[in-house]
């Protein structure tokens, strides 16, 4: 009988070494179209955290899920991501300045923005180097937003789903991200919300995870078969059925201490 690991008790995802972390991050050099189709956006409460900051750069912006929402809210936006595929889709999707760069070397001018946003990004970066870079590019009274969407594994069926998908719940409930001087966590938001997807879209969501992107065809076939059994046989979902997928959102507004 297959068993599944319990819920995460970590503040950060675990990588055996820096090389594996880099390899996992580089998996996102492909798959941007699918990512943009099924990855979720962010609750409006997250946008409210940045309402006082007119000019914002989205760091590790992906395909622009948060960038587009902030632009629609009236912010002057800039966006950067190291992946050529993500940057390509981002340029097509959101009409803002976009370039390829990293959190540790943004290519922004000194004191260029009022705030920075990092959505699904901070666990991939060198937080000490990124904290120093953010201090350089954010104006003296500015802020940094760190935010994560996670599948809400307090629902047992979702916990098992994440184990089959190798999506993980990479942060324990109540976690606080590690940041370096001069930044401190000034405000915390924790909320839950729901995305609606079909079983077929859950297959696509699986294909946006680093585990899938860096795996060979044999592993992908095994994951696909396990998903088919779980969704259609074990849970008896029907093709095209709209499913309520519970999410947890953790957001942190950083200011200089």
Q: What is the pLDDT of residues 135-150, one digit of tens each?
A: 999 999 999 999 999 9
Residue 170 or residue 76, greater confidence: 76
pTM for the whole thing? 0.87
Using CA atoms, how far apart are residues 40 and 247, in angstroms rounded to an integer? 9
Sheet with strand 183-197: strands edge to edge: 98-99, 76-80, 55-59, 113-119, 138-151, 243-256, 183-197
Using CA atoms, how far apart are residues 220 and 98, in angstroms rounded to an integer? 32
pLDDT for res 9: 61
Q: Is 44 exposed, middle or buried (0-12, 13-18, 19+ CB in 10 A)?
A: exposed
pLDDT for res 16: 55
Q: What average pLDDT does the segment 217-242 reach?
A: 97
pLDDT for res 188: 98
The answer for residues whose C-beta is within 8 angstroms of residue 119's C-beta and 6 or more apart is 42, 58, 60, 61, 62, 65, 66, 145, 147, 148, 149
pLDDT for res 189: 98
pLDDT for res 61: 97
pLDDT for res 62: 95
pLDDT for res 1: 39
Q: How confident is the model at residue 94 (pLDDT cuts 50, 70, 90)?
A: very high
Q: How far apart are the first and last CA of the chain?
A: 51
Estimate the crossing angle of helix 156-165 against helix 217-228, to 10 degrees. 160
pLDDT for res 251: 98
For 8-64, write each residue's pLDDT tens digit: 565 555 555 565 545 444 545 556 888 888 899 999 999 999 999 999 999 999 999
pLDDT for res 31: 67
Does a cis peptide bond (omega within 30 degrees of 0) precede residue 182?
A: yes
What domains lie within the chain, and their CATH numbers?
18-149+170-193+247-256 (3.40.50.150)
pLDDT for res 23: 47
């Amino acid at each position: 009988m297959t068993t599944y690991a319990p819920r995460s008790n970590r503040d950060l995802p675990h990588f055996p070494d820096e090389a594996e972390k880099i390899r996992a991050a580089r998996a996102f050099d492909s798959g941007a179209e699918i990512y943009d189709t099924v990855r979720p956006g962010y609750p409006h409460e997250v946008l409210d955290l940045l309402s006082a900051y007119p000019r914002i750069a989205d760091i590790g912006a992906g395909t622009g899920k948060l960038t587009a929402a902030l632009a629609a809210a009236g912010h002057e936006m800039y966006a950067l991501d190291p992946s050529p595929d993500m940057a390509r889709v981002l340029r097509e999707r959101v009409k803002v300045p976009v370039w390829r760069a990293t959190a540790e070397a943004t290519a922004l001018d000194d004191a260029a923005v009022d705030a920075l946003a990092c959505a699904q990004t901070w666990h991939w970066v060198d937080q000490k180097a990124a904290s120093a870079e953010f201090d350089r590019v954010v104006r003296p009274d500015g802020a940094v937003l760190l935010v994560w969407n996670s599948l809400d594994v307090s629902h047992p069926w979702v916990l098992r789903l994440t184990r089959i998908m190798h999506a993980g719940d990479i942060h324990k409930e109540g976690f606080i991200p590690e940041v370096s001087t001069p930044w401190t966590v000034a405000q915390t938001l924790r909320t839950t919300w729901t995305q609606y997807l079909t079983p077929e879209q859950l297959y696509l969501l699986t294909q946006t995870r680093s585990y899938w992107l860096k795996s060979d065809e044999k592993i992908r076939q095994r994951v696909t078969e396990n998903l088919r059994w779980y969704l259609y046989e074990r849970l008896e979902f029907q093709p095209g059925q709209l499913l309520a997928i519970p999410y947890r959102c953790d957001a942190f507004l950083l200011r200089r201490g």
